[in-house]
Structure 1
C-alpha cells in the first residue's frame, strides 16, 4: 500500500486513538491537512493562534495522559507553537508537535520563512527531528510518539513540504507499543527499609503530588492506618474531596497553616509522586524523609531524603500497606485537623459575599463558581493572583478536575487548554478561571471556541491590572509601578457578544451568585466579566511579620506617589 507521508501520519494517529489535531493550515501542511479532511476518525480544529493549538494539545494530555497533537506550518507558524509546548514540557504531558518546513531543495539558502525548528524547539522537546525522506517516515513517526509517551513530554516532527507529499510503501511500525507507560514496581528492599523508618517514627505526614493520582485509595488507606494528615500540592488539589477528613490543605503560596505545620512538625515525611520545586517550604533539617517517585533523578533534589523508593505510587503504597504497623495515637492528626478547621473558617469568612456591600471580593467569585459547578466540571485555571484565589477557595468534589500551568507558571494559558479539554467532550462543563491580563493575552482563542461550538464558560477576575506582580512589588516594600501593573481593558462581555456568544458583566456583589448560575446554565460559550477588589490580599500562611510590615510600607509609598 502506497501512501503520502501526510496520509501515513494521519492514519497512524487515528490507529493509536488520537482524534483531533489543533493548528493553522499552511502550504507546507497541505498534504497532511488534506489527509485529515479525508480521515473520518480524525478532526482538524483550526485555531486563531498556534500557541492556542499547543495549549489545547497540552490541556488534553494533562487531563487524560494520552497524546495531544498540534501543528504549525513553516517558520513563524510553527514557531508560534513553542510557548504553548512548554506547558507539556514542564508538566510531563505527552504531546506531538508537527511543523511544516521549506522543501528540501530550498534548505540552507535563507529561503522565505526558513527556520531551524529542530534546533529552536530542542529545549522544549524529549525528541526533535526532521523527516528527510518518505521511507524514513514510518520509523520516525513511531520514534517520536514513543518518546512522547515513554519520556512524558513533547516530540517534534519537522516535515519539509516535499517530504510531506511524497509517497512510501513502508508500513507503520509497532502501533500497539505506542501507549501510556505501565506502572513500575518498586524494589522490595527499599519497601522494607521505608516501612521500618515509618514504624519507628512518632508522627508521619503524607505529602501527595500528581504522581499519586492513580493511588488515591492507597494514600487514604495508609493515612488512616498511620493517623497521618495528608498535605497536597496544587496539582493534586482535585485528588481528594474538599471535605475528606484526612486532608489538611496544601503547601506554599496556595497552602494552609495546617498543611505547612504538619509537614514541618512531623518526625517523618512521606513524599509521594511529587517533585515539589519550592524547597523553601519543605523541611530541610531534622525530619526524616521517604520519597516515592518513578523518576530516580527526581528523588532527593529538593530536600535531603533518608530512603528512596523508585517506582509507581500505587504498587509502592500497596506494598507498604502490607508491611507497616498501625499507629493508634491520633494526637498529631487531630492537631492538624483542628488547625485545618480554623483555616477553613477563615476561608469561609473571606468568601462571604455579604462582607462588603459595594465590592466583589475575588474569594467570593471563586467560591460561587465552585459551589455552582457541575459534579464533573473541569476547571482550567490561569496563572497570577487568580491561581491563589482558585487554589484556596475552590472546593473540589465528585469527578471534578483542575488543570493549570503548574510548573511552567505561564500567564494566558487557561483559555487554550480549556478549548482542548472541551473538544474531548462537548457535554462536559469546562470552566476557565483567569485574570484580565491572562485573558487579554490570548483572547482570540475565545473565537476558536465559538467557531467550533466549544461551550466553555470563562470567568474573568478583572482587577484592571497585573495583580500578582503588584503584590510582589509590595512584598518587597516597593510602591507598585502603575505604568507597569495597571491596564485599561475592553468590555469583555461585549467582546463575547461580538464573537457570537453570551457575555455578562458583574459589578455588584448582590448579583454575583445569580449571574454565575445563569452563566453556567447558558448554552454555548460564555464570558463573565467580574470587577473584583484589586486591593484584596491573598491568605498566605508563610508570610512573616517583616513581610506584613513591607506591605504597609509599600501602601504608604503608593499613597504618597499618588
Structure 2
C-alpha cells in the first residue's frame, strides 16, 4: 500500500529511532500530525512556543548524539523555530526541523504567512530544502537526515500541505546509513610526532573537551602515565567524578585557579576534543598538541605545534601503547594542592550558615548537587546562574550536564530540560535557571505539566540580570536602567499551573527545602530568593578589574554624584 509523504516521513523517523516530535499543530502540518496520531511508535509533544520545540529537540540531540525532531507550521510557526535551532547549530547536534509551507499553487502571490523559508534557515541549517513534489520526498528525506548526522547540525525541510498529502512512489533508501558518525582513527605519523613532542616536554597538562566522551578510562591512564593533571571545559565537566583526583578543575570563569594555572604553566598542553573559544585562557607559546575530529578546529583558538585529525579514544589508545611511564610527579602534586585550596574556598562559600539572614546562591547550587540522584541530568540556563551551578557542583561521573554551551542564550533552559525529560520520565532532570531566563519562555513549564515531564526547576531570584550587572561593574560603570526588575512568586506560579512549588528564603531551612523539592512528584519549582550582591569566584579577576568593581559600587551608592559619563 502506498503512503503519503507525511506517512513516509513518520515511518522513516520511527525506523531510525526517533521517539518524539516537538511542535505546535496547525494548518500546513495537519497531514503530518495526523499521521503521527495514527501510529504508536512516535509521541507527539505539543509545546507552547515553537522555540521550545526546537530547544527540546536540540536538548535530546545534544545529550544523546541522535536525531532530534521539531516542527512549526507556515510562516511564523516555522520562523519561531530558528532561535532555538541555534542550540543545535552551535553545539553540533543533529536536528531535523520541519516547517509547513503555503499551498504549492499559491506560492509567489504574497499569500497569507508566505515567506522564503530556505533563505530564512540558511544560516542555522547545514541543509535546507523545500519539497516541491511527492516524487522528490524519499531522496530529500534521506539527504536531510544524512546531512544532519554527517555535519552534526540542523537540517530543515519545508513541505507544503498538498505535498504532505500526496502519495509517494517508494520508500526512503539506505536507512542503515542514517546514524551518528563513527570514530576516526588518526594517522600513525601524527601519533609519532605527538610522542616526540611529549618526550621533549618536562611537564604536560591535558585539557579535555566534550570530544573525550567515551575516553574516560584512557584519560585516567594518560594522567597516571604522564603525571599530568586533567582540566576540562564546561561541557566535559561531567566525564569524571568531582572527587576523582585526576580531575583538577575547569578553565576560565567556569573553572578554578588550579585549572587555569596548570594550563598556562605546563611545558606542553594536550588539547583533546575541545574547541574552547576563550583564547585568553590558553597558552600562547605554541607548545600545544590538539586532537579533534574536525580539521577546521585545529589551531584556531591558540597557536599549536601539531594538529591531529581523529577521535580522542583511538588517538589515546595509540599513544598509550607507546608512552613511557614518568616518575616525576611534582607538577601534578602542585596542581593537586592548588585544587585542594580552591575547593576549601568553594566549601566555605557554599555553607548555608555563612549568613543568618540571606541565602547565598552558592549554597543553593551545592545543596541541589549533593541531594540530586546519582544519575541525574543537570540543565543550566545561561547567565550568572551558570557560574553558580557549574562551579559549586560536585558531579558523580554518572550524571549528565547540558545547557547552552556555545550559543550562550538566556531562556533556553526550560525547552532543553523538557526534551531531556521526554527521553526518560523516570530519570531526574534538574534545571538551574535565573529569574530572567525562566520568565523568557515560561510557558514551556506548562508543556512539562501537560506531558508529565517531571522536571525540577530551581529559579535563582536576584531580581536582576546578574551577569549584566557584573559586566557593567567590570567596566566601572553603574548598572543601567532595565538591569533590575520585579518578579512574581514563582512557587505560586507553579501551583497555578497544577504543579508543585517551594520557596527558599531562610538559610536555616535550605537543605530541608531542597530535599523536599527534589522528592516531590511531577514538575516542580523551587523559588530560591538569593543575595543579589554575591559576586562569583573568578580565578582570573586581576587587581585592575577588582578596582573597577569597587568604583562601580561607589557610583551606584552616591547615585550620580560622581557622574555617569
CA contact (8 A) 1:11 1:39 kept: no
Equivalent residue number for residue 114 of structure 2: 114
For 1:155 and 1:443, how far apart are their aligned partners in 2?
27
Name the SS of the counterpart of 1:122 in structure 2: coil
Q: After superposition, where does 1:526-545 map in structure 2 within 5 Å? A: 526-545=524-543
Equivalent residue number for residue 262 of structure 1: 262
What root-mean-square deviation, in Å, do the aligned CA atoms of Structure 1 and Structure 2 show?
0.8
Following TM superposition, by how much is the alpha carbon of 1:326 offset from its aligned partner in structure 2, in angstroms?
1.5
Equivalent residue number for residue 379 of structure 1: 378
**Residues 274-322 of structure 1, C-alpha deviations (whole Å, 9 max, x = no match):** 001111111112x510000001000000111101110000000100001
Name the SS of the counterpart of 1:70 in structure 2: strand
Equivalent residue number for residue 554 of structure 1: 552
Equivalent residue number for residue 366 of structure 1: 365
Q: After superposition, where does 1:456-475 map in structure 2 within 5 Å? A: 456-475=455-474
Equivalent residue number for residue 155 of structure 1: 155
Structure 1 unpaired stretches of 5+: none
- What's the TM-score, normalizing by structure 1? 0.99
For 2:308 and 2:218, how far apart are their aligned partners in 1?
16
CA contact (8 A) 1:185 1:316 kept: yes
> How many aligned residue pairs are there?
560
1:451 aligns with 2:450: yes
Following TM superposition, by how much is the alpha carbon of 1:247 offset from its aligned partner in structure 2, in angstroms?
1.3
For 1:389 and 1:171, how far apart are their aligned partners in 2?
50
For 1:520 and 1:117, how far apart are their aligned partners in 2?
42
Equivalent residue number for residue 333 of structure 1: 332
For 1:553 and 1:491, how far apart are their aligned partners in 2?
33
Equivalent residue number for residue 77 of structure 1: 77
For 1:371 and 1:37, how far apart are their aligned partners in 2?
41
For 2:354 and 2:488, how far apart are their aligned partners in 1?
29
CA contact (8 A) 2:85 2:124 kept: yes
CA contact (8 A) 1:196 1:324 kept: no
Name the SS of the counterpart of 2:487 in structure 1: coil
For 1:344 and 1:529, how far apart are their aligned partners in 2?
27
For 2:397 and 2:245, how far apart are their aligned partners in 1?
15
Equivalent residue number for residue 298 of structure 2: 299
For 1:357 and 1:199, how far apart are their aligned partners in 2?
54
For 1:116 and 1:69, how far apart are their aligned partners in 2?
21
Q: After superposition, where does 1:145-294 map in structure 2 within 5 Å? A: 145-285=145-285, 287-294=286-293
CA contact (8 A) 2:242 2:397 kept: no
For 1:39 and 1:403, how far apart are their aligned partners in 2?
31
Q: After superposition, where does 1:421-460 map in structure 2 within 5 Å? A: 421-460=420-459
For 2:482 and 2:248, how far apart are their aligned partners in 1?
37
Q: Which runs of at least 4 in structure 1 moved beyond 2 Å after TM superposition?
A: none
Equivalent residue number for residue 308 of structure 2: 309
Following TM superposition, by how much is the alpha carbon of 1:119 offset from its aligned partner in structure 2, in angstroms?
0.6
Following TM superposition, by how much is the alpha carbon of 1:181 offset from its aligned partner in structure 2, in angstroms?
0.6
Equivalent residue number for residue 507 of structure 1: 505
CA contact (8 A) 1:380 1:430 kept: yes
Following TM superposition, by how much is the alpha carbon of 1:208 offset from its aligned partner in structure 2, in angstroms?
0.2
**Residues 410-449 of structure 1, C-alpha deviations (whole Å, 9 max, x = no match):** 0001111100000010000000100000000011000000
Match of 2:487 among 476, 480, 489: 489
Following TM superposition, by how much is the alpha carbon of 1:398 offset from its aligned partner in structure 2, in angstroms?
4.2
Name the SS of the counterpart of 1:51 in structure 2: helix
Name the SS of the counterpart of 1:495 in structure 2: helix
**Residues 362-406 of structure 1, C-alpha deviations (whole Å, 9 max, x = no match):** 000000000000001001100000000011001110410111100
For 1:345 and 1:192, how far apart are their aligned partners in 2?
41
CA contact (8 A) 1:192 1:323 kept: no
For 2:184 and 2:109, how far apart are their aligned partners in 1?
48
Name the SS of the counterpart of 1:443 in structure 2: coil
Equivalent residue number for residue 413 of structure 2: 414
CA contact (8 A) 1:213 1:239 kept: yes
CA contact (8 A) 1:50 1:81 kept: yes
For 2:205 and 2:215, how far apart are their aligned partners in 1?
17
Following TM superposition, by how much is the alpha carbon of 1:28 offset from its aligned partner in structure 2, in angstroms?
0.1
For 2:525 and 2:355, how far apart are their aligned partners in 1?
24
Equivalent residue number for residue 26 of structure 1: 26
Structure 2 unpaired stretches of 5+: 561-565
For 1:105 and 1:323, how far apart are their aligned partners in 2?
66
For 1:323 and 1:106, how far apart are their aligned partners in 2?
66
Equivalent residue number for residue 56 of structure 1: 56
For 1:346 and 1:27, how far apart are their aligned partners in 2?
57
- What's the TM-score, normalizing by structure 2? 0.98
For 1:110 and 1:470, how far apart are their aligned partners in 2?
45
